[in-house]
Amino acid sequence: MTAFDPWQWMASQRARGHAIVVMLDEDAQARRAMMGALPSERWCALYDATPAAQLAAHGPLCLLVDASEMRLLQDDLGAPQRHWGWLASLAPGSWPAWLEHWRQRLMVGPVLYRLHDNRVLARAIAALGAAELPAYLGPSISLCYWQGEAWAVTDNPAPGNYPVPADPAWLHVPAPGERATLLANADRYLCRHHYDRYLLLATQQAPDAWLSTVLEQARAWDWLAPQRLELLLLHSLYAPEFKLGGEWAARPGEPSHLHFERVKREFQLNLKGSSV
């Protein structure tokens, strides 16, 4: 794995005669435009023809893209923090096999494996050895994905068609701890619903450090429940200098639920996309 630029990666893969495919999340900005621009045989919902077919309209989208069509992904490539998916290269003609490969790895019993999430992909690639990667990556020759701090590229040691192992190694990759999960979910929520303000914050301070501070406050106040955490996140995000004033502090002896109800009444914040 090495730090890379996605445009450079795509150019180098095409120069080798490889095709480019994209795994897009439901929230990718280019999703609708790509569906309109590509012929129907070069895009499909991953969940189609699987036990999750009823979720296909809101699940990941797979696309086989030409160089001229990549311009539609420019905004998404410029905002990888939105965790909208990842890119891979294939040998010409491998598109159907690539789709089938990931569909076979989609279900873990009754649960969906979030293979379209670049964070899930990055954790698996980091944890798997060279002998385990081919069965995970299948026909993919090379992958380009955001791994949290930079774009990364991983080459498949042996691209090809593989059956799903009886005990897939990637299902044993440890999930992030509670704190990491809260950070990831909060980051995803703000990127999805309040991107402009969150981007402004990022120009003035490190978002991860700010999120950590807000989450520590939520823990201290016992506000980690979703509704309480959402209120704290949004008011902190839109507060002057991204920091709440002292009037938000709990009063002496005030239980957490009464503290929450009081500040919810006293401080109103009407924002599109928020339930606060």
pLDDT at 173: 86
Pair 168, 192 in one domain: no
Domain count, the chain: 2
3-class SS at 7? helix
Cβ count within 10 A of residue 36: 9
Whether 273 is covered by a domain: the verdict is no
DSSP designation for 59: S
Confidence of residue 91 (pLDDT cuts 50, 70, 90): very high
Percent of the chain scoring above 70 in pLDDT: 96
Task: Kindly give, in sequence order, each residue whose CB lies less than 8 Å from that of residue 256, ignoring residues fewer than 6 positions away.
Answer: 221, 222, 223, 228, 250
Q: Which amino acid makes up residue 202?
A: A
Q: What's the pLDDT tens digit per position in 165-196?
A: 998 999 888 777 777 778 888 888 888 889 89
Helix, strand, coil % over all residues of the chain, rounded to 5: 50, 15, 35
Pair 189, 59 in one domain: no
Cβ count within 10 A of residue 120: 17
Whether 272 is covered by a domain: the verdict is no
Q: Is 73:20 a contact under the CB 8 Å cutoff?
A: no
Q: Is 237:200 a contact under the CB 8 Å cutoff?
A: no
Q: What's the pLDDT tens digit per position in 221-275?
A: 989 888 889 999 999 999 999 999 988 999 988 888 899 999 998 887 644 444 3
Q: What's the pLDDT tens digit per position in 49-70?
A: 998 898 898 889 999 999 999 9
Q: Is 14:20 a contact under the CB 8 Å cutoff?
A: yes
3-class SS at 254? coil
Pair 137, 189 in one domain: no
Whether 4 shows a pLDDT value over 80: the answer reads no
Domain end marker among 172, 207, 237: 172
DSSP string, 105-167: TSEETTEEP-TT-HHHHHHHHHHS-TTTHHHHHTT-SEEEEE-SSSEEEEE-SS-S--PPPSS
Whether 275 is covered by a domain: the verdict is no
Domain end marker among 111, 137, 172: 172
Pair 192, 262 in one domain: yes
Pair 129, 99 in one domain: yes
3-class SS at 199? helix
Pair 166, 188 in one domain: no
Pair 93, 206 in one domain: no
Nearest to 175 by CA among 167, 187, 185: 185
Task: Tell me the C-alpha to C-alpha distance, in Å, between residue 155 and each of 141, 214, 272.
Answer: 6, 38, 42
| Range of the structural domain that residue 247 is part of | 178-266
Q: Is 87:144 a contact under the CB 8 Å cutoff?
A: yes
Whether 276 shows a pLDDT value over 80: the answer reads no
Whether 276 is covered by a domain: the verdict is no
Whether 156 is covered by a domain: the verdict is yes
Percent of the chain scoring above 90 in pLDDT: 61
Q: What's the pLDDT tens digit per position in 101-151?
A: 999 999 887 778 889 999 899 999 999 999 999 999 999 999 999 998 899
Domain end marker among 147, 172, 197: 172
Pair 128, 253 in one domain: no
Whether 204 is covered by a domain: the verdict is yes
Pair 63, 158 in one domain: yes
Confidence of residue 3 (pLDDT cuts 50, 70, 90): low
Pair 137, 247 in one domain: no
Whether 21 is covered by a domain: the verdict is yes
pLDDT at 39: 95
Average pLDDT of the chain to the nearest whole number: 90
Q: What is the pTM of this model?
A: 0.68
Whether 48 is covered by a domain: the verdict is yes
Comparing 38-42, 84-88, 157-161, 222-226, the range with the smallest average pLDDT is: 222-226
Q: Is 62:86 a contact under the CB 8 Å cutoff?
A: no
Pair 31, 141 in one domain: yes
pLDDT at 268: 75
Check residues 174 and 97 and name the one with the higher pLDDT. Answer: 97
Pair 132, 195 in one domain: no
